[in-house]
Amino acid sequence: MALSDADSSHFLRSIIDSVADPIFVKDRDHRWVEFNRAFCELMGHPRERLIGKSDYEFFSKQEADVFWTMDDAVFRTGKENLNEETLTDARGVTRTISTKKSVFVDPERGPVLVGVIRDITELREAERRNLEMSQHLAAAAKFASLGEMAAGIAHEINTPLAIMQGLADELLDIAEDGELGLAEVVRINEEMSRTVMRVSKIITGLRAFARDGRKEEPAVVGIEEIVTETLELCGMHLRSRGIDLHVTGRLGGVWVRCRAVQIVQILLNLLNNARDAVASCPSPRIGIDVLAAEERVELRVLDSGPGVPPELRERIMEPFFTTKPVGSGTGIGLSIARSLAADNGGELRLDEDRAETCFVLVLPRVAAPSPDSEASL
């Protein structure tokens, strides 16, 4: 049975009022001519208070100007618009809203703007908390990696300190014997200077690694500098365990735009994992292989360990998933490394076509920096 005009109008209004998201209709003068119950609840006013009014009567001028500008653009172009905005409700709470607006031409009223509002305040707050959590986890993973290398770094520093002490003792012996000549002083001075530089490089690497990579602007950096910086932190530790560590491929003259600290963190995590994987191998080997194509650079970290079982390959980068014994790993390293790679315009993946474990870090390759620009860690 067909509904009368009055019944149809009541039926349609009931349907609109049942929608949980606020819906509003504005005329060409930007005044509300229709809306649903959810819109009244959002505004904190009854229908009678809102009908025929505009944003300027309920919001600050700053917010109302934004709404007016966005609405006017939809009226002028006739194209629908999805925009994220802020709205201060009747209780004074600023909410984040996503509003989809489109134009409908009514035969009697002319063009009207139809808007549907979705309150995404809680969604954005959850995203912010998740971001903070991921940043804290990334920082924890970074210093966990550094902690795992602490013994190697201590050895790396103690060795040159012992050399310097030996040189100082030699200098004293020569002086006591009355054989202190210019040539001997120069020789010992040069050796001590080289040793000091070695310690300085280690400390510089540690300071760079400790920086908050999130606050670092992406810069053009050489792959050689990145690999060298990483090995300054962990090379001695790996070799002290009897691991054959080798670097192959093209390093010099290959440039990427990235946050260098984060790329070092990725490589350090991969090398730590490789170290654990080869711990029980009779001839442990770890390699870094650099493949430079025209538009991208691949840094492959390979090891001679048992490899990743096929049934675990899909889960290997899941957060908190680990194949290490309880208490030996957090399971967040690879998932964070993959996120950091994505943040730098690249990707991190497991090469499943190889029997040996091979993680591939892919970064976009860029042209060499201009002479007057900074391109270093």
Q: The CATH number of the domain where 165 resides is what?
A: 3.30.565.10
Confidence class for position 194, pLDDT limits 50, 70, 90 = confident
Among 63, 89, 119, the domain boundary falls at: 119
Assess if residue 240 is contained within a domain: yes
- Do 161 and 278 belong to one domain? yes
58/25 same-domain check = yes
215: which DSSP letter?
G
- 40-76 pLDDT tens trace: 998 989 999 999 999 999 998 999 999 999 999 999 9
Each residue of 359-375: pLDDT tens digit? 999 999 999 887 665 55
CA angle 138, 142, 238 (to 5 degrees): 145
Whether 158 and 193 share a structural domain: yes
- Written in H, E and C, the secondary structure of 176-189 is HCCCCCHHHHHHHH
In a domain, 195, yes or no: yes
Q: Are residues 113 and 39 in the same domain?
A: yes
Whole-model pTM above 0.85?
no
Coil, strand or helix: which one is 77?
Answer: helix
User: Do 70 and 145 reside in the same domain of the chain?
Assistant: no
Among residues 61, 88, 119, the one where a domain terminates is 119
Same domain, yes or no: 134 and 94? no
Are residue 89 and residue 168 in the same domain, yes or no?
A: no
Position 124 in a domain: no
How many residues are there in the chain?
377
Note whether 115 and 134 are same-domain residues.
Answer: no
Residues 85 and 136 in one domain: no
Domain count, the chain: 2
Cα separation, 255 vs 222, whole angstroms: 4
| Domain with 264 in it | 130-366
Last residue of a domain, one of 65, 90, 119: 119
Which is nearest to 360 in space by CA: 351, 369, 368, 371? 351
pLDDT at 296 over 90: yes
Residues 179 and 93 in one domain: no
Looking at the fold, whether 140 and 114 belong to one and the same domain comes out as no
By the 8 A CB rule, do 308 and 351 touch? no
Q: Pseudo-torsion of CA 160, 207, 242, 138, nearest 10°?
A: 170
- Same structural domain, 191 and 320: yes
d(CA 211, CA 139): 10
What CATH number is associated with residue 53? 3.30.450.20
pLDDT digits (tens, 9 = 90+) for 135-180: 666 666 666 666 655 555 665 676 677 777 777 777 777 777 777 6
Q: Report the relative pairing of strands 358-366 and 296-303 from DSSP bridges.
A: antiparallel
Element (H, E) at 86: strand 81-88
pLDDT at 1 over 70: no
